[in-house]
């Protein structure tokens, strides 16, 4: 479980980059969100594995908070599953382009680096996340 301080920081990032989230996400308390948030990766990866993966994808933690909320509140439909994963992909891109500018050549390496990681995370969820969505 995340700390309340960590959740507040992630919520500030969500607001800073105007990330997308379902309306009921904003009705949750920090304590409720902390109970839902487990970082990057499925539960079967274990705490150690998720901590390692999250540290390598730390730029996207705010997007993962929204994503974990959507999985915790799953409607068990294929449409909802696809929407949650697409929203995570969109939010990760918002973070990248909120930090780096495609107008600055010096940022291009970082943009590509993070876009590759973001796309890999999105594809992993889209291909392997169905069982977690149904839990």
Helix axes 61-72, 4-16, angle to 10 degrees: 110
Res. 13: pLDDT tops 90: yes
Give pLDDT, residue 2. Answer: 85
CA distance 133 to 135: 6
What's the pTM value of the predicted model, to 2 decimals?
A: 0.93
Q: What is the mean pLDDT of residues 36-55?
A: 89
Confidence of residue 1 (pLDDT cuts 50, 70, 90): low
- % residues pLDDT > 90 (the chain): 82
């Amino acid at each position: 479980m995340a700390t309340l301080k960590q959740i507040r920081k992630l919520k500030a990032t969500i607001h800073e980059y105007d990330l997308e989230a379902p309306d009921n996400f904003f009705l949750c308390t920090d304590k409720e969100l902390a109970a839902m948030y487990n970082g990057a990766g499925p539960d079967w990866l274990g705490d150690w594995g998720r901590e390692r993966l999250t540290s390598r994808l730390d730029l996207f933690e705010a997007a993962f908070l929204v994503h974990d909320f959507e999985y915790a509140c799953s409607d068990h439909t294929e449409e909802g599953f696809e929407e949650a994963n697409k929203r995570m992909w969109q939010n990760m891109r918002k973070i990248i382009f909120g930090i780096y500018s495609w107008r600055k050549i010096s940022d291009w390496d970082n943009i590509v680096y993070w876009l590759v990681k973001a796309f890999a995370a999105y594809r992993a969820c889209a291909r392997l996340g169905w069982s977690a969505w149904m839990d």
